[in-house]
Structure 1
Amino acid sequence: MKDACRLFDCLTHFPDHAPLPDMLAAKEQGAWRSYSSQEITDTVIRLSAGLLQAGISGRDMDPEHRDKIAIICNNRPEWVMLDLAVQRCGAVLVPIYPTIHLTELAFILKDAAVKMVFVQDAELFRQVQYLQAQLPTLETIYSFDPVTDAPHWSQLPERADAASITRAAAIANSIREEDLATILYTSGTTGTPKGVMLSHGNILSNIKACLPLIPPFTHRPRALSFLPLNHIFERMMTYLYLFQGIPVYYAENLDAIGENLREVCPDAFTTVPRLLEKVYERIMEKGAQLTGPKKRLFYWAHDLACRYEINQPQALSYRLQLALANRLVFSKWRQALGNNIKGIIIGGAACQVRLIRLFTAARIPILEGYGLTETSPVISVNRYEVTDRMFGTVGPLLDGIEIRIAEDGEILCKGPNVMMGYYKRPDLTADTIRDGWCHTGDIGELIAGKYLKITDRKKEIFKTSGGKYVAPLPVENKLKESLFIEHAMVLGADRKYTAALIVPAFSPLRAWATRHGIPFSSNETLIHHPRVIELYTGIVTGFNQYFSSPERVKKFTLLADEWNVANGELTPKLSLRRKVILEKYGEAVEGMYAP
C-alpha cells in the first residue's frame, strides 16, 4: 500500500490479494452473511454516485463548506461501505455512538451542520426525527434496517447512473492525502464534545506504521470486530485489514462475543481493558464452580501464570510446569477465544498488568498500546515479538512518531498522525498543538529509553488539603484487580484524605453472599450488610499497602447502581466521567468527609 494516499484506495488494493468471498461479514437473521471484495467495491462505487445524485457535495473541499453525513449505527458491513462512499464523493463522515445522550446528539448534528443521517434502526430514526425541527441543515434520515416512514439506504446506490458514477470517480481522483477524511467528536470525560479533524494522511500514516507489526500467519487470518467503529482505533484497524486483505467479521453484540469467537476463530481483535476484565471475571467464576482435583488444578495454573515474567530467564522447573498448565488448563482458555488468537490489541485506557501477565503466560499475547483520537490514534504499542514487549508499559513508539516528556511529566507528541485540528475551534487547537507538539494531557515516562509508560491523566491528578499530590488512576486500577470490584473512582481534591466510590461486581458478590449464607433482596440491601462491608474493608486495606500514605484510601462508599454509558457515568470507551459521577453522588462523597 505504499502508493495509497487516500483511505478509499483500499478498494484498488483488493486485486492485490486473492478475491475474497468474505471481506466483510455479519450475522443477518441468525446466519453469517458475507460480502465479497468485488461486491463491496461495486456497492461503494454506486453508493458514492447515489450520494451525488441526492445532492451531496464536497464543494471547494474546505472543511467547513463540505457536506457532512452522520452515521449512528453499531458495527456492520454497511457502516464501512458508507464510510468509503462518503469519502469518494468528497463529503465528510461524522460517526456518532448509538448510545449517545440526546442533548449531545443535537449538539453534534448542529455543530457539524449535518445534511444527511444514516441510522441503524427505528429507535434511532425516531430520536433523530424528534430533533430534526431544530436542525436546519438536516435534509434526510436513512435507515439500514427497514423502518416505516424512513427511506432505506439501498435506495441510494439504485439511483446511480453512468454519468454520476463517472462524476464520483473524477471527484475521488481529485482528493488529496492532506484533505479532511472524517470528523470524530470526542465525548470526553467533561465538557462539550470536540470535533477532531483527521485527514487521509493522518490515518494512513498510522496504518503504514502499524503494518510491520502484524504477527506472522501460516494461513489467511480473520479478524473479529466489536469495538465500535466510531472509535478511531477500531476504524484505523479496519482500514488496515482492508488494505491487507484480512476478512473482518462483526460480532452481533457484547453478549454474543463468546459464541462469535468460537464461530469465527479469529486471529486477532482489538478491545478496551474493561472487556478483557470481563473475560477474566467469567473465567474465574467458572474456576470457582469447579470442585476437587479440577479446582486445585485450575488455581495451581492460575498461580503459576501470576508469576510469569517476559524477557527474563525463568527456572527450568517453572517453564516445565507452565507448559503442563498450558496443556491442561490454558488450552481451554484459548479454545474459548477460537483457538487461533495471535494477539489481542488493547487500547483506550490502562490495562491491569496482572491480566496482561496472566493471558501472556496462557499463550494469548496481550499487546497494549496508547494513543488519542487526536493522534489517529496509535502513538506506541507493545509488539508481537517478545523482545519489544514490556509489562506495565504501552510499548515502543511507532516509526515516524516523536515524543517529548515536558517538565511537568506531560507526554508531547509530534508526527504525521497528529490531527488537522478541532473543527471550528482554532482556540482549542492552539491550546492542544503548540510549536508542532500535540499536548496529550497524559503523564508518562520512557523506560530504558524505549518503552512508554503512562502514569496518569494530567487533569485528574489532585492535591489533598495537606498539599500532597495523588494520581488516582494507579489506585483505581489496583482496586479493580479484585474480582469483587467493577468500578472505582478515587477522589480527595482539597480534602484531608483520599477516599473512593466503589461499584461492586455484583455477580461474584451475590455468589459469595449466597455461599456465606448472607440474605439479600437487592443490591441496596447487599451493600449495607456488615459482612459485605467487612469484605470490602479487607480488600481496600490489602491494596493500600502498595501505595504511599497520601494515596491510601481511608474511606469508601459502596454504590448499589452499576455505572454505564446510558446513564452518563461512563464514556463510550468506558472511561469514568468524573464530573458526572461527583455530581450524581455528591451526598455520598460529602458523607465520607463529614466530621
Structure 2
Amino acid sequence: MQYSSLGEMFKTVCEKFPEKTGMMYKSGEMYHSISFKELKSKAHNFAAGLKSIGVEKGDRVLLLSENRVEWALADYAILSIGACTVPIYPTLLPSHIEFIINNSEGKVLILSREHQLQKIKEIQGKLKHLKKIILMEGEGGDDLLSWQQIAETGEKLLQKEPELIEESLQGIKRDNLASIIYTSGTTGLPKGVMLTHGNFLSNVEGSRQVISVDENDTFLSFLPLSHVFERMAGHYLALHAGATIAYAESIDTVADNLKEVRPTIMTSVPRFFDKVYAKVLDSLEESSSLKRKIFFWAIELGKKVNLYKHNGYAINGLLKIKHNLADKLVYSKLKENVGGKIRLFVSGGAPLSREIGEFFNSAGLVLLEGYGLTESSPVIAVNLVDKIKFGSVGPPIPNVEVKIAEDGEILTRGPHVMQGYYKDEEATKDAIDSEKWLHTGDIGYLDKDGFLFITDRKKNIIVTSGGKNVAPQPIENLLITSPYVEQAVVIGDKRKYCSALLVPNMEKVKSYAQNNQISFADEDELLKNEKIQALFRSEIDRVSVDLASYETLKEFRLIKEPFTLESGELTPSLKIKRNVVEKRYADIIESMYLRLRLKRFFIAWKRFFRKSICDPRFILSIFRNITPTKWGQI
C-alpha cells in the first residue's frame, strides 16, 4: 500500500495490528510493552492537544529529547496534524539550540526533562518565535505545559470532535513538509534540510524492497532519533512493517539491552561495530591457544562460505558440515553476546571498515553497509543479504537514480531528494542542479555490477604539493582498526607528505606497557616512550601495506585527549571536524613537518658531503657553473 502521509501510515499500521506490541521501554528493572492500539490513542490525543494550543498545518514544532516512546509519539502527533517536526540533538549546546529554534521559527518546543529545560532557560530571552514549551517529565508551571496536560486536553477535544485527526490527515499530501533536519556540518553553521512526507515514504518503500522486514521483527533503537538514519530506518521503516521498536536506556547500556530485548534487527554507526570487534579480540587474548585457533579457523571458513554464497554457489558436502561445526563452536556464541536472535545489522552514517564488515559476516552476523545523507532522506544504496561486496555500500535502492559526474562526484536523483535548505536558496541551488540531480559532495564510482564505492568527501580530498590526490577517510578507517588507535586524522593538504594525528586507546597502551615492562610516571611520559612510539609506527606500517607511496604516513603525533563533542572537535553525529582539529593542533602539525624537513635536509647534506669528499669532479662542476655575477651575489 502506498500512503499519502506518514500520519496515515501510522494510523493504518496501528489499526492493522491493534493488540501487537508496537514499542517497548525500560522502567526500573523491566521492559514494558505498549500495543499499537495504545500508541495510536496516545499520539492522537497529543496531536489534538497540540491543535488546542494553536499548532496548525505547516507550523514548526521542535523536539529536544533523548530516544524514548514520547519522542516517537510526539513525532507522529505533529505529523498527523500537518505540522513539521524539527528534531534537535539532545547533546547540543544552548548556543546551537538557539540557532535552530530561531532559524526554524518554531512556535512550540517539546522537551524531555529538566536537564534540557536548563539549556532553554539560558537562552529563553533570545528566542524570537517560541510561544509554548512542553515538558515530557514532571508537572507544568509558569509558561510551561506538561505532556500530561496536553494529552488530557486533547483527549477531551477528541471526545467532542472524534473526526478531528482524520480530517487533518485527509489534508496532508506526500509533497507536504514533514521535517526540517539541521545537518550537524563539519564546517560552518548547520543548514535546515527540508524533507517531505513523500521523501521519507519513498525511502521506506525502496528500502523494504531490498531489506526483508516484517511484523515478527524487533528493532533495538539507540542511535539518536534526531539523526535521519535512525529516524527513517529505526522509526518509520520499522513501523511501516509493523515491527516492534524497543528503546535502549542509553548508549552505555546497549550491551545489556541487547540481551534483554533480543532484537532481530539493529541499525548503528561503524563505531559500535568497531567496539564489538575490539571486545572480541580482547577476549581472545585471554583465551587458550586452542580456542584462538578454533576461532580463526571458523572466521576463515566463514569467509570462504560467504565467497560461495555471494557468487551464487551452493553450500553443501564437507563445507556445509564444517560450517555447521563452526556455528556450534563459534558463531552461536558470538550471536548470544548480541541477544541471540539478531539476523541483521545495518551500518550507516559513516564509512565502515572493510575488515570489520568481513569479520561480522564471516562470524555469521549479517552486517549490511549502506550509504546516504540527510538530503536524500537518507538511503541511496545498501548491500544485499545474498550479495555483499565488502568495501562497497551496495547498489542503489529502487526509486533512486545514481550517476558519477566527470570529477567523480556521486549524484543522485529521485523522490528521495530534499525540497531544499530552509531559507537558503543559494545553498539549495549549489546542491541541486537544473536537472534535479543532488550533488552529494562524495567521491566514488559504480562497478560493472552497479555496486557503489565511496572514496571520500569531495571537500576532504587532500591534494599534496606534488599534485597527488589522497582520500584521508579510507586511511583513517585502516588506522582505527588497530586496537591501540581510538581516533585518527590524516593531514597533508598542500604539503609534500601525509602525516597523522592519532588519539591512542590509553587502556590498551597501558596494558601493552605493563606486558612489556615499560615503566612510566604518567600518561605523557608513556606516550613519549621510544617503545610506545615504535609500537604506533609498526601499527601504521602494518595497516599501510596496500597504500600507494604518496598515501603513506611519514610522521605522526599522539594526542592524549580524545576529540569530543564538548570540545567542538566532533559533530553531533560524531564526525570529526577536520578544520577545528587542524586549527587546534596547528603547532603540533607544524612540528611534524619541521621535523620532516630537517630530517630530509640532513639526509641531503650527508649525501652532498659524502659525494663532495669522494669525487673532486663534483666540486669542480660547482665552480664551473658559478659565473662572475653569481660570485658577486655570493
Deviations 1:320-356 (A, max 9, x none): 5454333212211101111111110111111011111
Aligned counterpart, 1:512: 512
Go from structure 1 to structure 2 and tell me whether the alpha carbon gap of 1:361 and 1:588 turns closer, same or farther (over 3 Å shift): same
Match in the other structure for 2:11: 12
Residue 552 of structure 1 corresponds to: 552
Residue 579 to residue 315, structure 1, CA distance change in 2 (3 Å): farther
> How far has the Cα of 1:429 moved from its partner?
0.4
Q: Which amino acid aligns with 1:233?
A: F
TM-score scaled by structure 1?
Answer: 0.94
**Structure 1: gaps (5+ residues):** 59-65
Q: Which residue of 1 aligns with 2:145?
A: 151
* 1:593 counterpart SS class: helix
Deviations 1:412-433 (A, max 9, x none): 1000000000000011000000
Q: Could you say which residue in structure 2 is the equivalent of 1:63?
A: none
Distance 1:523 1:248 in 2: 43
1:98 corresponds to: 90
- 2:140·2:146 contact (CA, 8 Å) conserved in 1? no
Aligned counterpart, 2:109: 117
- Structure 2 residue aligned with 1:88: 80
In the alignment, the residues of structure 2 paired with residue 147 and residue 29 of structure 1 have an alpha-carbon distance, to the nearest angstrom, of 21
Matched ranges for 1:435-450 at <5 A = 435-450=435-450
Determine the structure 2 residue equivalent to 1:383.
384
Tell me how far 1:226 sits from its aligned partner. 0.9
Q: Check conservation: 1:273, 1:346, Cα contact below 8 A.
A: yes
Q: How much has 1:462 moved relative to structure 2? A: 1.6
Report the Cα distance in structure 1 between the residues aligned to 2:362 and 2:507, rounded to whole angstroms. 26
Counterpart of 1:226 in structure 2 is: 222
Instruction: Provide the residue aligned with 2:336 in structure 1.
Output: 335
- Determine if contact 1:68/1:113 at 8 Å carries over to the other structure: yes
CA offsets per residue over residues 45-88 of structure 1, 9 Å max, x none?
Answer: 11111111112122xxxxxxx32111111111110110011112
Aligned-residue offset at 1:308? 6.4
More helix by share: 2
Query: In the alignment, what sits opposite 2:610?
Result: none
Please give the alpha-carbon distance, in whole angstroms, between the structure 1 residues aligned to 2:511 and 2:339.
28
Give TM-score, length-normalised by structure 2. Answer: 0.88
Task: Give me the whole-angstrom Cα distance separating, in 1, the residues matched to 2:30 and 2:441.
Answer: 44
Assess if the C-alpha contact under 8 Å between 1:44 and 1:82 holds in 2: yes
Higher mean displacement: 99-108 or 207-216: 207-216
The 1-side partners of 2:319 and 2:530 are apart by: 41
Is the alpha carbon distance of 1:136 and 1:518 closer, same or farther for their aligned partners in structure 2, counting shifts above 3 Å? Answer: same
1:164 Cα deviation (Å)? 5.8
Residues 175-186 of structure 1: pairs in structure 2 closer than 5 A: 175-186=172-183
User: For the residues of structure 2 that align with 1:94 and 1:19, how far apart are their CA atoms?
Assistant: 29
Partner of 1:266: 263
Q: Confirm or deny: 8 A CA contact 1:5 1:177 kept in the other structure.
A: yes
Distance 1:167 1:315 in 2: 60
Letter matched to residue 151 of structure 2:
P
Q: Distance in 2 between matches of 1:583 and 1:569?
A: 10
- The 8 Å contact of residues 463 and 492 in structure 2, kept in 1 or not, is answered as yes
Structure 1 letter corresponding to 2:92: I
TM superposition shift of 1:505: 2.0
Gaps of 5+ in 2: 598-634
User: Does 2:278 match 1:284?
Assistant: no
User: Are the equivalent residues in 1 in contact too, given 2:14–2:39 (CA < 8 A)?
Assistant: no
- 1:366 and 2:367 are equivalent in the alignment: yes
Give the fraction of aligned pairs with identical amino acids, expressed as a percent. Answer: 36
For 1:152-190, what per-residue CA distance to the aligned partner results, in whole angstroms no more than 9, with x for missing partners? 212101112134654443222211111000000001111
Q: Alpha-carbon deviation of 1:450?
A: 1.3
- Mapping of residues 87-486 of structure 1, within 5 Å: 87-146=79-138, 149=141, 150-160=144-154, 161-162=157-158, 163=160, 166-215=163-212, 220-237=216-233, 238-302=235-299, 304-305=301-302, 309-310=306-307, 311-312=310-311, 321-384=322-385, 386=386, 388-434=387-433, 435-486=435-486
Deviates most, 569-578 or 221-230: 569-578
Write the deviation string for residues 436-473 of structure 1: whole angstroms up to 9, x where unpaired.
Answer: 10000011111114111111111100211122111111
Q: Residues 86 and 220 of structure 1: is their aligned pair in 2 closer, same or farther, counting only changes over 3 Å?
A: same
**Partner SS state of residue 557, structure 1:** strand
In structure 2, the residue matched to 1:22 is: 21
Contact 2:460 2:471 in 1 (8 A): yes
Instruction: Classify 1:325/1:541 alpha carbon distance in 2 versus 1 (closer, same or farther; 3 Å).
Output: same
Greater alpha carbon shift after TM alignment, 443-452 vs 159-168:
159-168
Describe the shift of the 1:20–1:551 C-alpha distance in structure 2 as closer, same or farther (beyond 3 A).
farther
Structure 1 residues 299, 288: closer, same or farther in 2, change over 3 A? farther
For residues 101-133 of structure 1, what are the alpha-carbon distances to aligned partners after superposition, in whole Å with 9 as ceiling and x for unaligned? 322211111111122211222111100121110
Question: 1:572: how far off?
Answer: 2.4
Q: Counterpart of 1:124 in structure 2: which amino acid?
A: Q
> Could you tell me whether the CA contact under 8 Å between 1:21 and 1:34 is conserved in 2?
no
Question: What root-mean-square deviation, in Å, do the aligned CA atoms of Structure 1 and Structure 2 show?
Answer: 2.1
| Counterpart Cα distance in 2 of 1:354 and 1:455 | 16
Does 191-200 or 500-509 show the bigger shift?
500-509
Partner SS for 2:56: coil
What is residue 62 of structure 1 aligned with on the other side? Answer: none
- Structure 1: distance between partners of 2:107 and 2:277: 44
Task: State how far apart, in whole Å, the 1-side matches of 2:316 and 2:582 are.
Answer: 49
2:489 paired residue number: 489
Asked if the contact 1:306/1:354 (under 8 Å) is kept, the reply is: no
Q: Please, which moves more after superposition, 356-365 or 502-511?
A: 502-511
Report deviation, 1:283. Answer: 1.3
Quick one: structure 1 residues 207 and 191, their matched pair in 2 at CA, closer, same or farther if it must change by over 3 Å?
same
Per the TM alignment, residue 510 of structure 1 is displaced from its structure 2 partner at its CA by 2.4
Report the Cα distance in structure 2 between the residues aligned to 1:134 and 1:279, rounded to whole angstroms.
43
Alpha-carbon distance in 1 for matches of 2:527, 2:146: 48
The whole-number CA distance in structure 2 between the counterparts of 1:148 and 1:526 is 53
Structure having greater relative contact order (Cα 8 Å, sep ≥ 6): 1
The residue that corresponds to 1:539 in the other structure is 539
- Distance in 2 of aligned mates of 1:233 and 1:6: 19
1:299 to 1:505, Cα distance in 2 relative to 1, 3 A? farther
Instruction: State the partner residue of 1:61.
Output: none
Q: Secondary structure in 2 aligned to 1:23?
A: strand
Q: Which amino acid aligns with 1:538?
A: S
Q: CA separation in 2, counterparts of 1:429 and 1:216?
A: 34
Secondary structure of the corresponding residue to residue 51 of structure 1: helix
